[in-house]
Amino acid sequence: MKKNLLLSFFLSCSFLLAAQAPPNDNCADAIDVATNEVVSFNTTEATTDGPLHLDSPCPSSDNDTLFRDIWYRFTPDFTGLADWTLCGTADFDTKIAVYNAGATCPLEDGDLLTCNDDFGSCANNTSRIVFDVEAGQSYLLRLGGWGDTAPGEAGSGTFVIEEFVSSVANDFCSQAIDIGLVENYQFSNIDATTDGPLQPNNSACFGFGDPNVQADIWFRFTSPITGSVEWTTCDQINFDSRLAVYGPNVGCTPTGDQLYACNDDGSGCSFYTSRVIFSVQEGDTYLLRLGGWNGDQGTGTFDLQEIIPPTPPSNDLCTTPDSAWIVTAMMADDFEGQISGSNSNGTFDQDNFIFPNAQCFGTNTAGGEFSDVWYWINTYGNTELEIRFYKNAGSEGASFYLDMYDACEMPVDTNVITGSCLYADASTAEAVTIVSGLPAEPTLYLLRVTTRLTTQLPGDFFFFVIGEITEPPTATKETFPGNYQVFPNPAGDRLYLNLLLDESANTTLEVFNTLGQRVMSERKGKLHQGAHQFNFDVSALKEGVYFLVLQSDQGRGMVKFVKE
């Protein structure tokens, strides 16, 4: 019995010793560290006592702190830049902060000098800070993990603080070189480190397996104009570049959500060089970040020049499509009734872009920038359509994808509607597809023509849509001056209306239940001839059958839909 009690006593003591907080758990107990000293640490049993930093440059959340923080004091023996690094030397997601020289405990939010959560491509989301120091001044250092409360990050590792001397003058954001509008500006990012933020949710500029601008260098541009500028390395360098613009008027180092504009591979630029056009306001300051994909480094020149931005095509947006129409096979054979277009200078929604149909695009959806234009078409009840696609003279080397949509951001179901995508590559003069499985009633669809600018050229084109029925069937014509379709039907929380007006019309949209009671009404005013798309929040409607009524000066139309 005594042996058991004694054993329990020693086990309890061992547990208490193992669970003991580190000696520098509190700010007031900071441990002094010296230049070039390799320091081992463990935050597993630490508490959190540092201040919150609501607007820090390295936030974890709205209530920002460092989880399970421990403290050090660094008094440098040099004046210049100090490099405090845990890069790849800790086994958890670290977060570090440096406080102003002379700041004392307890610290306040305003005492923060700088901080870092995840540095560049450091393994395990570890941290690194390069900061200005003055010899003989003392700086409190705070080391913890990502998160505010349990289960935040904690663990062990080592760090070192060294004097930082880079061969690249503007290696870090804090060392950004001030520039104005320039031409043939010489630069090198050889031997540069990576200190800018990751951009994991932007496949347009940060795709192909690398969500960062590697080996980045920095410039600070205060615009002397209000308008647009073009920043370009296009055909002027010897490596695969990436450009990122942050701002306006943000400090170092910017966060990912402060990205203002970017480009990976510029349209028509060889060797994956870059070009980005962005709007500026006179007096505003923008941080320019230049680096490479997947660690690429090199030398060259760039231009930063005022520019009149190219005008996108009128049907650049899904919400402003041009009209397409159906012709007979004989007309197409004689090249009569063609639908012409161009996606040169087209843009795309990089946050919501849907890659072309895999039937013709394949599975290479790792990233890239695109240029697309849009068309409306009414099938007039054709259950099968032929699409013939051609390139104009001067665009023989261009490449195009054409695919079909029920509505913006809603591609057709390719298991039902087959052949709904074609691809005209750089060596193809004509591309043809047969679209089958279309409904027997007249239905509106969107056609999108797009080019992957990363590796292809946009250009001018024309195409024919061929079917047996080339006019609206008489039995389906409405007194309302146009064609319309609701989608989806049955509807969930939102109901979409695709509307193609034959002429300009004052239009009111109303929803009635089966008792004839009006439950929704929207006055749209005078709508122009052509395509329109509207969507309605029908989440408040009970399940059942409803009628959408379209009213104009010229007539009235109605369509039934089901609310699930």
Using CA atoms, how far apart are residues 194 and 177, in angstroms rounded to an integer? Answer: 16
pLDDT at 269 over 70: yes
Q: What is the mean pLDDT of residues 369-380?
A: 92
pLDDT at 17: 42
pLDDT at 500: 86
| Average pLDDT of every residue of the chain | 89
pLDDT (tens digit per residue) in 274-287:
999 999 999 999 99
Q: Do domains 173-306 and 478-563 have the same CATH topology?
A: no
Q: Strands 285-292 and 214-222, how do they pair?
A: antiparallel
The mean-pLDDT minimum among 40-49, 93-102, 277-286, 363-372 falls in 363-372
Using pLDDT thresholds of 50, 70 and 90, give the confidence band for residue 155. very high
Using CA atoms, how far apart are residues 316 and 322, in angstroms rounded to an integer? Answer: 9
Using pLDDT thresholds of 50, 70 and 90, give the confidence band for residue 72. very high
pLDDT at 295: 84
Q: What is the mean pLDDT of residues 207-227?
A: 94
As given in the structure block, the two tokens for residue 79 are 């004046």
pLDDT at 9: 42
Q: Which residues share a beta bridge with 342?
A: 460
Using pLDDT thresholds of 50, 70 and 90, give the confidence band for residue 433. very high
SS3 32: strand
Using CA atoms, how far apart are residues 245 and 230, in angstroms rounded to an integer? Answer: 11
pLDDT at 7: 41
DSSP 202-265: -HHHH-TT--S-EEEEEEEEE-SSSEEEEEE-TTTBSS-EEEEEE-SS--SSPPGGGEEEEESS
Sign, CA torsion 389/395/396/397: negative
pLDDT at 15: 41
pLDDT at 10: 40
pLDDT more than 70, % of the chain: 92
pLDDT at 18 over 90: no
Using pLDDT thresholds of 50, 70 and 90, give the confidence band for residue 61. low
Residue 534 parent element (H or E): strand 530-537
Answer whether the bond into residue 254 is a cis peptide, omega within 30°.
no
pLDDT at 60: 61
pLDDT at 252 over 60: yes
pLDDT at 16: 41
Using pLDDT thresholds of 50, 70 and 90, give the confidence band for residue 512. confident
pLDDT at 13 over 70: no
Q: Token pair 């060889």 is at which residue?
A: 270
Q: Which of 215, 219, 213, 217 is nearest to 181 (CA)?
A: 219
Q: Which of 62, 89, 58, 66 is nearest to 195 (CA)?
A: 58
pLDDT (tens digit per residue) in 445-467:
999 999 999 889 999 999 999 99
Using CA atoms, how far apart are residues 144 and 69, in angstroms rounded to an integer? Answer: 4
As given in the structure block, the two tokens for residue 420 are 């709904």
The top-scoring range by mean pLDDT among 43-47, 151-155, 355-359, 486-490 is 43-47
Using CA atoms, how far apart are residues 170 and 187, in angstroms rounded to an integer? Answer: 10
- In total, the chain counts a number of residues equal to 564
pLDDT at 153 over 70: yes
Using pLDDT thresholds of 50, 70 and 90, give the confidence band for residue 366. confident
User: Which CATH number is associated with domain 18-163?
Assistant: 2.60.120.380
As given in the structure block, the two tokens for residue 249 are 């008027």
Note the pTM of the prediction, 2 decimals.
Answer: 0.66
Using CA atoms, how far apart are residues 15 and 19, in angstroms rounded to an integer? Answer: 6
SS3 10: helix
Using pLDDT thresholds of 50, 70 and 90, give the confidence band for residue 1. very low
Q: What is the mean pLDDT of residues 365-392?
A: 93
Q: Which residues share a beta bridge with 114?
A: 98
Using CA atoms, how far apart are residues 56 and 43, in angstroms rounded to an integer? Answer: 22
Q: Which long-range contacts (CB under 8 A, 24 or more apart) does 307-314 make?
A: 307/228, 307/229, 307/230, 307/277, 308/227, 308/228, 309/228, 309/277, 310/344, 310/345, 311/345, 312/345, 312/346, 312/347, 313/341, 313/342, 313/343, 313/344, 313/345, 313/346, 313/373
The mean-pLDDT minimum among 203-212, 297-306, 555-564 falls in 555-564
Using CA atoms, how far apart are residues 188 and 168, in angstroms rounded to an integer? Answer: 8
pLDDT at 132 over 70: yes
Q: What radius of gyration, in Å, describes the C-alpha atoms of the chain?
A: 31
Using CA atoms, how far apart are residues 424 and 361, in angstroms rounded to an integer? Answer: 11
SS3 304: strand
Architecture of domain 478-563: Sandwich (2.60)
Using pLDDT thresholds of 50, 70 and 90, give the confidence band for residue 62. low
Question: Looking at the domain covering 173-306, what would its CATH class be?
Answer: mainly beta
pLDDT at 14: 41
* Boundaries of every domain in the chain: 18-163, 173-306, 322-466, 478-563
User: Which CATH number is associated with domain 322-466?
Assistant: 2.60.120.380
pLDDT at 477: 42
* Contact criterion met (CB below 8 Å) for 141 and 98: yes
* Contact criterion met (CB below 8 Å) for 305 and 181: yes
Q: Strands 31-33 and 67-74, how do they pair?
A: parallel
Backbone torsions φ then ψ of 271, nearest 5 degrees: 55, 30
More confident residue, 136 or 516: 136
pLDDT at 515: 59
As given in the structure block, the two tokens for residue 116 are 């870092």
pLDDT more than 90, % of the chain: 58
pLDDT at 8: 45
pLDDT at 408 over 90: no
